[in-house]
C-alpha cells in the first residue's frame, strides 16, 4: 500500500506540470485480441489531446515498427535502459543501450538525490523514469538536460514520459483492450504495442 501511495503522489506531482483539458470525445471503438479496430467521432472544435505534440508521431511509429518486426528483442521493463521509456530514449537520442546506461549512471545530480530518497523511503525506485522526470520537473525544477532533455526536445512532456512508463494515460487506454486490472500489465510488450498504436491513432485523428 505504501508503494502504491508513493507512486500516486509522484504521478500527481508530474501531472501538475502539464495542463489538461476536461473536454470529452464521442467514441465508439471495437477491440480485438490482436489489433485495434477503431471508429471514432472526433470533434474538430475541441483540443482534448492538445497536450500531445505531433512531432512525437515519427518516434512512436518507428518504436512500434521495431517492436513488431522483432528488431527490439531485449524488452525488459525492470531494466531502465530497455523498458517502455528506455527504448524510446534510445530512439530520441540515437544512443545505444550501453551509451544510455552510461549517461544514466553518470547523472550524479539525480543519483545523489535518489540515493538519499531511497534511504528515507523504502519503496523509492531509483531506476524509475517517473522519479527521474519528477526530479527535474516536479520537485527541484532544475534545468532539464541529458536524456530527459532529449525526450522533451523530441516533444514528449513530463506526463507523457511518466504515463508511458506505466501505460497509464486514460485518454490513450480508452482506445485499447488492455486489461489494466492485471498485475503489472504495463510490463507486457504486447500491451506496450497496443498503447503506442492507440497513441498514434489519436495523433493522426486530431487537429492540433
CA–CA distance, 89 with 81 (Å, rounded to integer): 8
Q: Is 94 left (phi over 0), alpha (psi -120 to 50) or beta?
A: left
Neighbours of 2 (CB within 10 A): 9
Model pTM?
0.76
> Given this model, what pLDDT does residue 42 score?
38
Q: Coil, strand, or helix at residue 18?
A: coil
How high is the mean pLDDT of the chain? 78
Pick the more confident residue, 187 or 18: 187
Q: Is 148 left (phi over 0), alpha (psi -120 to 50) or beta?
A: alpha
pLDDT tens for each residue of 153-199: 999 999 999 999 999 999 999 999 999 999 999 999 999 999 999 99
| Domain extents in the chain | 2-16+53-205
DSSP state of 136: I
CA–CA distance, 177 with 36 (Å, rounded to integer): 8
What lies within 8 Å, CB to CB, of 100 at 6+ separation is 81, 86, 89, 90, 93, 147
> Given this model, what pLDDT does residue 6 score?
45
- Checking if the pLDDT of 208 tops 60, the result is no
Residue 141's pLDDT band, with cuts at 50, 70 and 90, is: low
Amino acid at each position: 500500500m505504501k508503494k502504491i501511495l508513493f507512486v500516486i503522489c509522484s504521478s500527481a506531482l508530474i501531472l501538475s506540470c502539464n495542463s489538461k483539458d476536461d473536454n470529452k470525445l464521442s467514441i465508439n471503438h471495437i477491440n480485438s485480441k490482436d489489433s485495434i479496430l477503431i471508429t471514432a467521432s472526433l470533434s474538430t472544435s475541441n483540443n482534448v489531446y492538445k497536450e500531445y505534440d505531433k512531432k512525437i508521431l515519427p518516434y512512436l511509429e518507428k518504436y512500434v515498427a521495431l517492436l513488431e518486426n522483432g528488431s527490439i528483442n531485449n524488452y525488459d521493463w525492470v531494466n531502465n535502459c530497455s523498458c517502455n521509456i528506455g527504448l524510446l530514449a534510445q530512439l530520441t537520442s540515437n544512443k545505444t543501450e550501453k551509451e544510455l546506461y552510461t549517461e544514466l549512471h553518470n547523472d550524479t545530480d539525480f543519483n545523489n538525490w535518489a540515493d538519499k530518497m531511497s534511504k528515507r523511503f523504502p519503496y523509492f525506485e531509483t531506476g524509475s523514469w517517473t522519479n527521474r522526470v519528477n526530479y527535474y520537473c516536479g520537485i527541484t525544477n532544475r534545468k532539464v538536460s541529458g536524456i530527459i532533455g532529449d525526450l522533451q526536445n523530441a516533444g514528449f512532456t513530463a506526463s507523457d514520459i511518466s504515463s508511458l512508463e506505466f501505460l497509464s494515460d486514460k485518454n490513450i487506454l480508452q482506445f485499447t483492450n488492455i486489461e489494466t486490472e492485471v498485475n503489472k500489465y504495463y510490463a507486457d510488450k504486447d500491451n506496450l504495442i497496443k498503447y503506442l498504436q492507440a497513441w498514434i491513432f489519436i495523433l493522426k485523428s486530431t487537429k492540433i
